Chain A
């Protein structure tokens, strides 16, 4: 089946630094979703992308839908301690006919050093 590969798997950064992570696939996705999971909580949807080339921001977060439809990027500017958590990318499989379960990446674990 389709798989999403996230990199890096984990990262340690200083407070105030910018962060960049990505998600790639060998097959085309028509939607890219980015979630953040705080420790001990459920994932929360951060940004949804629906069009190739689309660039969307949510506060200090910016995500882009790659032109090839096989990748997406999430950037966080001026990181703060509450950015700590696991960031997941996700998308519907090609055979999706509506409400088919999403394919999830394995996540990027972000740690922020104050």
Chain B
């Protein structure tokens, strides 16, 4: 059963702590993305990766870091430098370069920093 998984669904952390959000896909997609969504707002791009061992900053990369060591995994670390980390985080993936541009999303992780 192919898809994108994000874990955990809900995550609580104390202010000042780094936290890593998991994103795994078994769709054999080349590209993966991280978005942030605040209440009542649209999607804002944090980082994306078009190929293993390569990634680019999105519109709001400050305070976040990523890695892409494996094709199927794209973890996002929310660092203590992120001033307002409480949000809903969405991971997405899309097929190989040159294919249609459809992106597919995971179920999201809701991060609350206390």
- Seen from chain A, the residues whose Cβ lies within 8 Å of a Cβ on chain B are 31, 33, 35, 40-45, 48, 50, 88, 90-92, 96-102, 104-107, 109
Contact = CB atoms under 8 A, between A and B. Distances in A.
A99 B101 contact: yes
B94 A99 contact: yes
A104 B101 contact: no
B42 A33 contact: no
A105 B50 CA distance: 22
Interface string B1-42: 000101000000000000000000000001101000000111
B48 A101 contact: yes
Interface of B: 4, 6, 30-31, 33, 40-43, 45, 48, 50, 58, 88, 90, 92, 94-108, 110
Contacts of B45: 101
A31 B94 CA distance: 14
